[in-house]
Copies of this chain bind each other. A is one copy, B any other.
Amino acid sequence: MNKPALKLAIIGGGSSYTPELVEGIINRIERLPVREIHFVDVESGREKMAIIEALTRRMIARAGVEIDIKASFDRRAAITGADFVLTQFRVGGLQARANDERIPLKYGVIGQETTGPGGFAKALRTIPVILDICRDIEELAPDAWLLNFTNPAGLVTEAVNKFTKVKAIGLCNVPVSMRMMIAEMMECTPEELSLECAGLNHLLWAHRAWIDGKDVTDEVLQKVGDGATYTMKNISEEPWDPEFLKALGAIPCPYHRYFYQTDAMLAEEKAAAESQGTRAEQVMETEQSLFELYKDESLATKPTELESRGGAYYSDASLNLIDSIYNDLKSLHVVNVANNGAIPNLPDDAVIECSAVVGGWGARPLAVGTLPVAISGLVAQVKAYEQLTVEAAVHGDYDKGLMALACNPLVPDISKAKLIFDDILKINHDYLPQFGRS
Which residues of A are interface residues toward B (Cβ below 8 A)?
1, 3, 192, 194, 196, 208, 210, 212-215, 241, 243-244, 246-249, 259-264, 325, 328, 330-332, 338-345, 348, 355, 357, 359-361, 364-370, 373-374, 376-378, 380-385, 387-388, 398-400, 402-404, 406-407, 409, 412-416, 418
Known: A380-B381, A402-B243. Contact between A370 and B348, CB under 8 A? yes
Contacts of A244 in B (CB 8 A): 402, 406, 414, 418
Q: Judge whether B361 and A364 touch: CB under 8 Å.
A: no
Instruction: Pick the residue among B246, B260, B366 that contacts A357 (CB under 8 A).
Output: B366
CA distance A373 to B192 in the complex (A): 40
CA distance A75 to B78 in the complex (A): 59
Closest partner residue, chain B, to A401 (CB atom)? B247
CA distance A246 to B400 in the complex (A): 10
CA distance A341 to B1 in the complex (A): 35
Q: Judge whether B263 and A415 touch: CB under 8 Å.
A: yes
Contacts of A377 in B (CB 8 A): 380-385, 407
Chain multiplicity (copies): 4
Q: Judge whether A412 and B262 touch: CB under 8 Å.
A: yes
- Chain B nearest CB, measured from A224 CB (Å): 14
Give me 15 other A-B pairs in contact (C-beta within 8 A), A212-B360, A364-B366, A374-B403 excluded: A194-B359, A194-B361, A241-B414, A243-B418, A260-B406, A260-B414, A263-B413, A341-B369, A345-B345, A373-B388, A374-B406, A377-B382, A380-B380, A380-B381, A381-B409
Contacts of A360 in B (CB 8 A): 194, 210, 212-214
CA distance A297 to B418 in the complex (A): 57
Contacts of A343 in B (CB 8 A): 341
Instruction: Pick the residue among B1, B192, B340 that contacts A367 (CB under 8 A).
Output: B340
CA distance A116 to B377 in the complex (A): 16
Q: Judge whether A213 and B330 touch: CB under 8 Å.
A: no
- Chain B nearest CB, measured from A354 CB (Å): 8
Q: Judge whether B414 and A412 touch: CB under 8 Å.
A: no
Contacts of A373 in B (CB 8 A): 384, 387-388, 407
Among A194, A260, A364, residue most surrounded by chain B Cβ atoms (within 10 Å)? A364
Contacts of A208 in B (CB 8 A): 361
Contacts of A194 in B (CB 8 A): 328, 330, 359-361
Closest partner residue, chain B, to A397 (CB atom)? B247
- Chain B nearest CB, measured from A148 CB (Å): 19
CA distance A196 to B382 in the complex (A): 26
Among A365, A367, A406, A416, residue most surrounded by chain B Cβ atoms (within 10 Å)? A367
Instruction: Pick the residue among B210, B263, B330 that contacts A361 (CB under 8 A).
Output: B210
Contacts of A382 in B (CB 8 A): 377
CA distance A370 to B344 in the complex (A): 11
Instruction: Pick the residue among B214, B215, B364, B388 that contacts A374 (CB under 8 A).
Output: B388
- Chain B nearest CB, measured from A398 CB (Å): 8
CA distance A415 to B382 in the complex (A): 21
Q: Judge whether B359 and A357 touch: CB under 8 Å.
A: no
Q: 18 A-B contacts, Cβ less than 8 Å apart?
A: A1-B212, A3-B212, A192-B328, A196-B361, A213-B361, A241-B414, A246-B399, A247-B403, A248-B403, A340-B367, A341-B342, A357-B357, A357-B366, A364-B368, A374-B384, A377-B383, A380-B380, A381-B409
Closest partner residue, chain B, to A192 (CB atom)? B1
Closest partner residue, chain B, to A210 (CB atom)? B361
CA distance A192 to B378 in the complex (A): 39
